[in-house]
Amino acid sequence: MDFALIDLDEEHRALQLEIREYLTELFTPDVFAQEHEFGDGFNKKVYEGLGARGWLYPELPATQGGADFTPLQQRIMDLELDRQDARIMMMRGTSSLPMSAVRKYMPSDMAEPILKACAQGQAVMCLGYSEPDGGSDIANAKVRAVQDGDMWTINGSKMWTTGAHVSTYTFLVTRTDPDAPKHKGITMFLVPLDTPGVTIQGIRTFSGERTNIVYYEDVQIHDRYRIGGVNDGWSVLHGPLDAEHSIGVDMSDGLTDLSIGAGFCKVLAGSIVEVAEWANKTTGPDGRSMAEDTRVRERLGAALVEYEAGINTPGPMGRVRASDALVKQSAILQDLLGPAGLLPMDEEGSIGNGDTEYAHRFAQGTGTYGGTVEVFRTIIAQHVLGLPKASYPGSKVFLAGKKKS
C-alpha cells in the first residue's frame, strides 16, 4: 500500500471545496441534535439532499443514481463527511451491503427502480439477520417462508434489526427447508416493510440508539421479491457478509481506511479533542491550567495512542482493536471531566458539543455492530492465523444410552 500524500490538482480541489460548502449547509445543528438524542444513523433531509446530487453513493454510475466518482473523488467525499462528523450516515453503509446482491440476483425491472431510489435517498435497506434465540448464528434462521404458487407466506421475528423504523426494505434471511442442513435451507427476500403483517417494535439501548424487533405474521410476498435461488440463500448472503466483515477488501490503492474500525476511532477522536480543549480552558484548585497537570496529559496521551492503534490496525483485527479502544478510553476521558462529562450537548454545564458523553454511550454498542467482536476474533483465528475451527465443551451431542468404552 502507498501511504504517500496525494497532491490534489485544481479540479479535485474545486470538488473538495464544493462538497465542503454543501455539507456545511446540509449538516445544520438540528441534524446533530437529532443524532445525539436518538442515534438513528439517518436523517431524511440529509439523505435526500445528498441523493439529489448523486452524492449518497457517488461511486455508482449516474444512470444508477450516483455521480460516476473515481476512487480519488470518492475518498475526497468520505473525508469531507468525516470533517463534518457525519455520524448520521450509518444507515448509508448498512443499506449499501445488500445492494450488490439485489442487483445481481433480482430481476432487473424490479432491482433497478429500488436501487435508484436508494441512491437518491428515497429508500433505505436494513438487514434482517439476527433472531431472538439465534444470536450471531445467522444460518440458524427460523423465520419460515412457505411458497404457494407465486406467493410466499413469512412468519417469525427478527431481533436487533437496526434502522428498520427508518427503512423501506429489509434484506431478510428465511428458512424455506427446515429438514435441510442449516446452510442449505435458506432463501433471501427483499421485504417491503410497509407490507401488511409486518410490525416493528422499538428497543432502546443504553447508548440512546434505537434498534428493533420485527414481527412477521402471515406476511405475503410475491416471488419476484426473492433474491437468488430457493434454498440457495447462503450463496446470496455471502457477498454482503464478506463486505460487512471486510474480508478480501482491496486496499492497494491507498484510498481506503486501513482499519475497518476507523469509524469507532473517529468518535473517540471527537472526545479527545473536546477534553483537550477543556483542559486548556479550565484551571485546577492550584490556579494552573488542567493542561499542565501531568495526569491529564498522560490520559490524553494514552487515548491518542489507542486511537492511532485503532485506525492503523488492518483487517478484522482493526475492528476489534478500535472497539476496545473506544470502550476503554471513552470511559477514562469521561471520568477525567467529572460530572460535566455526563451531560449531553446543550445541557447547562455541558462540555463542548457533548462528544465525550456521546462517545461513552456509543461505545457500548460497538462490541456488536456489524458482527460481534467474538465473531471477528473467530475470523482472525481461522482466516488470518489459519487455526482450526474451535470445538467448545458441550458442542457434541452424545447418543442416549451409549456407554463410554
Q: Over the stretch 71-130, which tens digit does the pLDDT of each residue have?
A: 999 999 999 998 887 667 778 888 888 999 999 999 999 999 999 999 999 999 999 999
Buried b or exposed e, range 99-138, using 16+ CB within 10 angstroms: bebbeebbeeebbbebbbbbbbbbbbbbbbbbbeebeeeb
Tell which residue, 343, 315, 339, 326, has the closest CA to residue 269: 326
CATH 2.40.110.10 domain span(s) along the chain: 125-232
Helix (H, G, I), strand (E, B) or coil at 357: helix
Question: Tens digits of per-residue pLDDT, 15-46?
Answer: 999 999 999 999 998 998 888 778 788 999 99
CATH 2.60.40.650 fits 125-232, yes or no: no
Are 190 and 127 in contact by the 8 Å Cβ rule? The answer is: no
What length does the chain have?
405
pLDDT tens-digit profile of 263-282?
899 899 999 999 999 999 99
pTM exceeding 0.85: no
Q: What percent of the chain has pLDDT over 70?
A: 91
Q: Residue 136: CB partners within 8 Å, gap ≥ 6?
A: 130, 371, 372, 374, 375
Residue range(s) in the chain whose domain bears CATH number 1.20.140.10: 262-384
Query: In this predicted model, what pLDDT tens digit does every residue of 139-160 receive, in sequence order?
Result: 889 999 999 999 999 999 999 8
Could you tell me if 169 and 194 are in contact, meaning their C-beta atoms sit under 8 angstroms apart?
Answer: no
377 CA to centre of own chain: 18
The 3-state DSSP class for residue 36 equals: helix
Stretch among 6-10, 133-137, 172-176, 377-381 having the lowest mean pLDDT: 133-137
pLDDT in tens, 191-216: 999 999 999 999 988 777 888 999 99
Q: Where are the beta strands (DSSP E) in 95-244?
A: 125-128, 144-148, 151-158, 169-175, 186-192, 198-204, 210-222, 226-227
Q: Of residues 82 and 248, which shows the higher confidence score?
A: 82
The domain covering 262-384 belongs, at the CATH homologous superfamily level, to Butyryl-CoA Dehydrogenase, subunit A, domain 3 (1.20.140.10)
Phi, psi angles (nearest 5°) of residue 57: -130, 70
What per-residue confidence (pLDDT) applies to 405?
41
